[in-house]
Amino acid sequence: MAYKTVFEDCDILVVGGGMGGCGAAYEARYWGRDMKIVIAEKANIDRSGAVAQGLYAINCYMGMQWGENQPEDHVRYARNDLMGMVREDLAYDMARHVDSAVHKFEEWGLPIMRDPKTGHYQREGKWQIMIHGESYKPIVAEAARKSADKIDNRIMVTHLLRDENHPNRVGGAIGFNVRTGDLHVYKAKAVIVGAGGASHIFKPRSVGEGMGRTWYAPWSSASAYALPILLGAKMTQMENRIVLARFKDGYGPVGAYFLHLKTYTQNAYGDEYESKWYEHTKAMVGEYIDHHPTPTCLRNHAFLQEVAAGRGPIHMVTKEAFQDPHKETVGWENFLGMTISQAIVWASQDIDPKYVNPELTTSEPYVMGSHATCSGAWASGPEDLSPSEYYWGYNRMLTVEGLFGAGDALGGTAHAFSSGSFTEGRLAAKAAVKYIQDHAKDKVKVSDRQIEDLRKVIYKPMETYQIYRNEIVGGTVSPHYILPLHGLQRLEKIMDEYVGGIGVNYMTNEPLLKFGLEKLKILQEDLEHTGAEDLHQLQRAWELKHRVIASECVTQHTLFRKETRWPGYYYRGDHLKLDDENWHVLTLSRRDPESGQWEMEKAPVYHIVD
């Protein structure tokens, strides 16, 4: 392939210009005035990431200025929701800074609704504030654009580079331009990964043409996990995949409905059902069911049990609230602001929630680190808040030196959402600047050999296609190679059936997980024979490889944690109960970059807040 190689030397490379990446570029410029800051983004930062379409709420805002919440309240909330398992140091740290980010968003022109009586931001719930957020991402992207030296859009980053002068240190990143095909090599003293979460790891409920209608964006392709894993970084809580209760088919959000519009759910016969599952849930998880608010996964659990008992579908009771025209407007605008598909689903099926109570569903599982879940990389906390096991010098630095994470990429920091992801990007960037200053004398070495080896690997799917294209039947069938879509569908089937997807009601066990791992291994062998017809398919091929690496990690973690910590997210049929005695711990994994072997360990949970 006759593609050019474009070299870029920088101080800080930000991989992924979503909420976390934009926050990182902004903060990096403030502290690193003379540093060269570059963003490499797969799409276009103006509309990339999970916030491309906009958001109707900022889900993490303390309101310290009005005494509404303090950071310790947020820690209690996040740890309660995750049944004890969060990194409290990271959660506290994010929470104490997040308000300053939100105040800046407003100053930059993001319309935040206000309560006419108090003048405070209009709350949707205890933690959420309401915004007119159609242009949230373009506004945040503008801040990044004014801060970075360079933004390279349409670069699919495939690998992080290793610094050959220092063991276990990052040396930059490599990827290709999806438009020109050129190879882009970034040598960097520090790298901040903000490449988002993972959809399409498990088989989605939507099929055929509709398969893109997942709750998390189809372009959230697990790069944030695969990139650090491939370099040997430790991961945490990867078993903590999330399942969401949402409006059926469109996956429209329910938060504003429950919290602001005060709607509620009932089964097909009009009965309240959650309380009926109290004893059942208590037998599985003990006193956690008595905590307030009820953890998200346990609410899912009641939903799933009720449907399995034959009393589905579950409905959202909207008929009462929607008689109020203001509430009706809020209900619709909530979709238009963040999940437009739901408006399409209702319009196409003549569902007017003023007269009909719409159906809810539980989604396929996702892997991500910033919602009601906390999968991701294991990172150092801040100096003043972290116990020694959680602290190795630079805030948000992973176990690979010079490599930092933010947003979905970071493990243990549930309930960061958009504002918290941006804030984590800022925290990582300040620490990265400090890291570079402290290591000013170090020279980063990335040899031509390393680049050449990767070049071969990166373009291989296009070469495979060139070799076999004359033997392809019907456009898709060949005995020699598979298309990225074929591989994706096989991955989704494996994960669904063996690792606890919708097809098995989120249930798995040790034999299933071991079968799953074997099949994932064979899938990886087959992926060596992926064919890519063009650059777009080459991007899909690499997204798939990243998804498979992350899936392997999820499966290893699920096998390691021999308990059902989060019923409603997944169930271990062979260990159906929560087991605080043995498993009140965080799980950690590391994949050896040379051998591909995984090692698992436990890490203590420290409670820094009463």
Ligand X SMILES: Cc1cc2nc3c(=O)[nH]c(=O)nc-3n(C[C@H](O)[C@H](O)[C@H](O)COP(=O)(O)OP(=O)(O)OC[C@H]3O[C@@H](n4cnc5c(N)ncnc54)[C@H](O)[C@@H]3O)c2cc1C
Q: Which residues bind ligand X (CB under 6 A)?
A: 15-21, 40-43, 48-51, 55-59, 155-157, 175, 194-196, 215-217, 219-221, 223, 253, 338-339, 370-371, 407-408, 417-419, 421
CB of 539 vs other proteins, minimal distance in Å:
6
Name the residue among 2, 30, 115 with its Cα closest to residue 427: 30
Cis peptide before 313 (omega within 30 of 0): yes
In terms of CB distance, is 235 or 429 closer to other proteins? 429
Strand partners, 156: 176
In terms of CB distance, is 47 or 276 closer to other proteins? 47
CB of 57 vs other proteins, minimal distance in Å:
13
Name the residue among 338, 362, 369 with its Cα closest to residue 222: 369
CB of 174 vs other proteins, minimal distance in Å:
19
In terms of CB distance, is 380 or 421 closer to ligand X? 421
Task: Please give the DSSP secondary-structure letter assigned to residue 216.
Answer: S
CB of 271 vs other proteins, minimal distance in Å:
26
Residue 196 site contact among ligand X, other proteins, none (CB < 5 to 8 Å, cut-off depends on kind): ligand X
| Distances from the Cα of 518 to the Cα of 176, 347, 514, 521, angstroms | 31, 44, 6, 5
In terms of CB distance, is 179 or 469 closer to other proteins? 179
In terms of CB distance, is 26 or 566 closer to other proteins? 26
In terms of CB distance, is 43 or 379 closer to ligand X? 43
CB of 428 vs ligand X, minimal distance in Å:
11
In terms of CB distance, is 146 or 280 closer to other proteins? 146
Residue 20 site contact among ligand X, other proteins, none (CB < 5 to 8 Å, cut-off depends on kind): ligand X
Q: How is residue 580 written in tokens?
A: 């605080």
CB of 152 vs other proteins, minimal distance in Å:
14
* Sign of CA pseudo-dihedral 561, 206, 521, 174: negative
CB of 473 vs other proteins, minimal distance in Å:
21
Answer whether 47's CB lies under 8 Å from 77's CB.
no
In terms of CB distance, is 132 or 282 closer to other proteins? 132
Q: Which residue bears the tokens 């109570």?
A: 357
Q: How is residue 71 written in tokens?
A: 């950071």
Rounded CA separation 125/259 (Å):
5
Residue 57 site contact among other proteins, ligand X, none (CB < 5 to 8 Å, cut-off depends on kind): ligand X
Name the residue among 449, 406, 416, 366 with its Cα closest to residue 162: 449
In terms of CB distance, is 48 or 294 closer to ligand X? 48
Residue 276 site contact among other proteins, ligand X, none (CB < 5 to 8 Å, cut-off depends on kind): none
Name the residue among 499, 479, 609 with its Cα closest to residue 555: 499
Residue 84 site contact among other proteins, ligand X, none (CB < 5 to 8 Å, cut-off depends on kind): other proteins
Rounded CA separation 159/227 (Å):
6
Residue 418 site contact among other proteins, ligand X, none (CB < 5 to 8 Å, cut-off depends on kind): ligand X
Residue 17 site contact among ligand X, other proteins, none (CB < 5 to 8 Å, cut-off depends on kind): ligand X
Beta strands in 434-533 (DSSP E): 507-508
Residue 561 site contact among other proteins, ligand X, none (CB < 5 to 8 Å, cut-off depends on kind): none
Residue 139 site contact among ligand X, other proteins, none (CB < 5 to 8 Å, cut-off depends on kind): other proteins
Question: What's CA 218's distance to the chain center, in Å?
Answer: 12
Rounded CA separation 118/123 (Å):
11
Residue 110 site contact among ligand X, other proteins, none (CB < 5 to 8 Å, cut-off depends on kind): other proteins
- Closest residue (Cβ) to ligand X? 18
Name the residue among 359, 347, 38, 350 with its Cα closest to residue 175: 38
Answer whether 187's CB lies under 8 Å from 40's CB.
no
CB of 56 vs other proteins, minimal distance in Å:
9
For 152-196, give the DSSP string.
ETTEEEEEEEE-TTSTTBEEEEEEEETTT--EEEEEEEEEEE---
Q: Which residue bears the tokens 């063991």?
A: 167
CB of 556 vs other proteins, minimal distance in Å:
24
CB of 601 vs ligand X, minimal distance in Å:
25
